[in-house]
């Protein structure tokens, strides 16, 4: 059997692929021969990510675009198709987060996160559909434990990511007959990321989070990327509609564990 993790010539599109977990995913595919397109709002971040990813020797393109702008997202997917061909692997990872109690955020604060995470995912999926390899495309949504564990100070993210997971499930049903697989990966607390800098900034807060993880440590960006490689490989050819926690068991304790650890961490920050 040929190497199932050789992605030579495959086309990968990653929304929010210019930093953190999503850039780690882009790295993983680029270093295995894929042609990679990344998008995010900041042109500087796009340029830096494209330069970094080119070190792996493959073809890389990037575009500055806000996932809240459907026309712009359609344009980036059209350009990706023109330059690379049909899209084999689509990762929707653009997201926003800030910790705040429900009554400490405005309607616009709630809307901003829902528009980026949930509406943005719909924009990416909807505008990519005509350019997907059929059969064979693999779509991955980057979700979060907040999608199924209610978490205080995260009402916007909980609502948005729960919706994202429903997009995963419905799209898996509607598009399965066309040979398109759709899954969510839900990372737990991942080291050296903007997300965890915002949610557990201090050493004490970090320890509180670690104490709530059964594997007793943060995860790495590589560990999330590895699961995405597996999902996109022929090894996962019968896997669709799944919400896959990659969280060291963090979500097993549900609200009683993960939310308590996170809440204590956030409160220790004075929020
Ligand atoms: P990050 O580095 O801030 O990644 C977010 C990415 O999305 C950035 O590239 C950002 O770039 C882009 N982005 C934000 N708003 C956008 C918009 N409106 N349009 C287009 N792009 C936008 O954060 P991260 O912590 O690695 O998180 C990455 C993903 O993992 C997210 O989906 C997050 O919910 C999920 N996650 C993270 C953790 C964790 O431990 N960090 C845990 C669970 C789930 P620009 O600023 O240039 O737009
Ligand atoms: N507490 C309460 N409200 C907040 C807030 C906070 N910490 N941070 C932002 N908001 C509110 C703003 O006040 C604003 O509401 P208002 O217009 O009623 O005042 C609303 O959120 C939108 O803020 P704005 O900065 O204009 O939005 P944006 O679209 O430029 O940015 C965010 C979106 C807020 C999600 C921003 O944090 C972001 O760009 N995040 C991307 C990176 C990230 O979050 N990474 C981690 C991913 S898990």
Residue to mutate (ligand 1; options 16, 156, 191; most atoms within 8 A of CB): 16
Pick the closest to residue 227 from 142, 160, 168 (CA basis): 142
Ligand 1 close to Cβ of residue 92 (< 6 A)? no
Task: Please state the atom number of ligand 1 nearest to the C-alpha of residue 143.
Answer: 44
- Nearest 5°: CA angle at 145, between 105 and 259? 65
In a domain, 6, yes or no: no
Q: How does the average pLDDT of the chain come out, rounded?
A: 95
In this prediction, residues 31-37 reach a mean pLDDT of 98
Q: Please, which residues have CB within 8 angstroms of residue 55's CB and are 6 or more apart in sequence?
A: none
Note the pLDDT of residue 269: 59
Residue 264 falls within a domain, yes or no? Answer: no
% pLDDT > 70, the chain: 93
19 part of a folded domain: yes
φ/ψ (deg, to 5) at 93: -125, -5
pTM (whole model) above 0.95: yes
Residue 242: is its pLDDT beyond 90?
A: yes
| Total domains, the chain | 1
**Cβ proximity of 196 and 220 under 8 Å:** no
Q: From 40, 41, 68, 98, give the residue whose CB has the most ligand 2 atoms within 8 Å, as the site to mutate.
A: 98
Protein residue whose Cα sits closest to atom 26 of ligand 1: 20
Answer yes or no: is 201 within a domain: no
For the segment 65-86, what is each residue's pLDDT rounded down to a tens digit?
999 999 999 999 999 999 999 9
- Ligand 2 site, residue 98, Cβ cutoff 6 A: yes
Residue nearest to atom 33 of ligand 1 (CA): 95
Whether the CB of 184 sits within 6 Å of ligand 1: no
- pLDDT tens digits along 181-225: 999 999 999 999 999 999 998 898 899 899 999 999 999 999 999
Instruction: For residue 263, tell me if it sits in a domain.
Output: no
Residue pair 22/91 in contact (Cβ under 8 Å)? The answer is: yes
Residue 265 lies in a domain: no
- Asked if residue 153 is part of any domain, the answer here is yes
Residue 139 within any structural domain of the chain = yes
Q: Is 113 a pocket residue for ligand 2 (Cβ < 6 Å)? A: yes
Nearest-ligand number for the alpha carbon of 108: 2
Q: What CATH number did the domain enclosing 64 receive? A: 3.40.50.720
Encode pLDDT of 126-172 as tens digits: 999 999 999 999 999 999 999 999 999 999 999 999 999 999 999 99
Beta carbon of 271 within 6 Å of any ligand 2 atom: no
Atom 11 in ligand 1: which residue has the minimum CA distance? 40
The answer to whether the CB of 103 is under 6 A from ligand 2 is: no
Percent pLDDT > 90 in the chain is: 88
Establish whether residue 259 lines the binding site of ligand 1, counting it when its CB lies within 6 angstroms of any ligand atom.
no
Look up the domain containing 37 and give its range. 11-192+220-249
The separation between the first and the last C-alpha atoms of the chain, rounded to the nearest angstrom, is: 53
């Amino acid at each position: 059997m040929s190497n199932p993790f050789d992605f030579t010539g495959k086309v990968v599109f990653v929304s929010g692929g210019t930093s953190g977990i999503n850039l780690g995913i882009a790295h993983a595919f680029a270093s295995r021969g894929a042609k990679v397109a990344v998008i995010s709002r900041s042109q500087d971040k796009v340029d830096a990510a494209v330069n970094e990813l080119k070190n792996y020797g493959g073809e890389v393109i990037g575009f500055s675009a806000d996932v809240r702008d459907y026309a712009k997202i359609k344009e980036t997917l059209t350009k990706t198709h023109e330059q690379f061909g049909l899209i084999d692997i689509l990762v929707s990872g653009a997201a926003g987060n800030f910790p705040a109690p429900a009554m400490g955020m405005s309607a616009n604060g709630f809307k901003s996160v829902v528009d980026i995470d949930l509406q943005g995912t719909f924009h990416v999926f909807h505008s990519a559909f005509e350019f997907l390899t059929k059969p064979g495309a693999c779509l991955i949504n980057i979700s979060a434990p907040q999608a199924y564990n209610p978490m205080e100070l995260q009402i916007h993210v909980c609502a948005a990511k729960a919706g994202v997971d429903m997009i995963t499930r419905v799209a898996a049903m509607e598009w399965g007959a066309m040979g398109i697989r759709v899954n969510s990966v839900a990372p737990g607390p991942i080291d050296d990321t903007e997300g965890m800098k915002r949610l557990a900034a201090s050493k004490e807060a970090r320890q509180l989070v670690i104490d709530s993880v059964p594997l007793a440590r943060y995860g790495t960006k590589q560990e999330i990327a590895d699961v995405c490689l597996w999902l996109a490989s022929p090894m996962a050819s019968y896997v669709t509609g799944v919400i896959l926690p990659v969280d060291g068991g963090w979500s097993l304790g549900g609200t009683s564990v993960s939310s308590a650890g996170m809440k204590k961490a956030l409160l220790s920050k004075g929020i």
